[in-house]
Structure 1
């Protein structure tokens, strides 16, 4: 049979009578933990609360003042789970959670529209779909969807929405020849009664038990967020319809305003600002052991040569951060960044007189270009393969300088 929610998807309240109310249990998952809730299963003469099916979750609502936590279909019946009993054979007013219902209507009709046009335009068949709490997903039978196709599909579905195309519901007998012409993934084993057809005029006719809008204009807008790799060479197409698009825009704008305040830049510069922060964090992680190097240098006799192992990643700022952490007025420091045997950067820091004297020779050994002032000599090295020669040269200098001091 077709329930009242299927005959009139826009009905928000409905008066009916209670057929039965029996003790029951509901198994559910709360915060990742499974629990069993004791309550009652209620059968009504008819209902405007949709039982889950066709990929659409069930409705929530009230029977009188009693909350309905779950609605399932058992053969021709809709079973309502409640935690408080309701009196049998009495009339009750059933109220649907309209915000949840209309969201499901928009997402479900949106899925039908996207599915029909993806097939018509590109031959991509829908193999399943998921109406999620925040975003919905259609599984397409294709390994990938090109960005240009995604844009073309989004433009096409929104054009149909702007055209205000009617969506009609037909009830056909299973023996009706018209049933064979309708798109379907099959009927459930316990199906009873007529076949329900959702017909988007000139676009698609599909067997479906779910609740739908009566006109595509009620979808407002569809946004295709993108695709993800699915299972077995399939592609998951992620989309939002109607009010979800508005909520998504509101949330994105709120996030954007927060980032403007935190990053002190306009929205167009957020990516660049975050990349700079990531680079700075990466650099700080590299030099977090510098304090130990500084303390070790402080325990050494002057003049001292401190050698930092070559880093593959870094720049002049990276090396200067390290040098700034060490007392280079009394310690001679040599640093490089780059590939061990390729090109890179170097820095010699220390007492000004020694740096001025030693810098040109290091430049010559590394076959590089550079200059120095104020106790720093740095530049580009064409061959860090000769780094060991530089280290030997600096050690010899320090030993010679130390003997002269004695």
Structure 2
């Protein structure tokens, strides 16, 4: 029986009542009640993972499932998971069931749309349970048992843009955007800026589909971009399979997202932008097992990292990537790692001609200004769709 069906019956019966850059605590320490000597628990740690799509989607959800597999290997841990949970009250039902039926004390609701209002409601109802959310900005008013983690893909997206630009013969790239929210726009802009760093006049055509997984619209968008002359396609949708295979069938190149998708396009796959959730999840779990929590101050409320912290990576290069391109990427990567290359620096204009970063200003990856990005950079044809 589906766990959400079980929980509906229980609810009806009235069963439930009302650092280094690796660890960045954005919450002032004065706002956290600290316990300097947390006591590890001898009981197995029950953890729940929730995915908005299937675990084998060749994309976002599979990346989280692969990260969860890293936690499976740790001792003293029991995992419960559920896939294809909509961003509705169904998520609340799943989380409640994991807590009450399975005994979960740590939850990873992995989709952006679970957070508000669903995870916030569960956090307030179960203050002893810790919820960790990806890619959400922290606010002081949020419950203290909610934490946030950022595996920032801006850097590998920049490098993938270099690969795409140096491979393209037409000077046109295609980027398919699911939802024009800040985290997606940051990565689309970074991809374009990487491309422009080696070919200043290259064009990136963007199409917004409107949701994380719309295979029919994604196929239409991919074909439209190819018809307009783009010869390298990428995107930020949950499942890149349609986009990559469409490019492959039509003799174009592709750059992946979320996981290594080279098997989908043996001829045209260039590289890809990958998460490394396993590093984040295993670190969280070891801290919780040691008795540390968000509530006692042992775990910071914001965890963030990029290439340097091994929170993300670039997929291996495909057969079509030249030696010169590989060399250019490695040079840019070295500068990102040593801090000598800043991706978002002024003067920078959006694609409507407005100055969005003034001359002399540089934003680090976790700067609050980037967390509310609602624009597409100059050189991207398309509308951010946020205004």
TM-score (structure 1 length as normaliser) = 0.22
Bigger radius of gyration = 1
TM-score (structure 2 length as normaliser) = 0.23
Name whichever structure is richer in strand by fraction: 1
Report 1 or 2 for greater relative contact order, CA contacts < 8 Å, sequence distance ≥ 6.
2
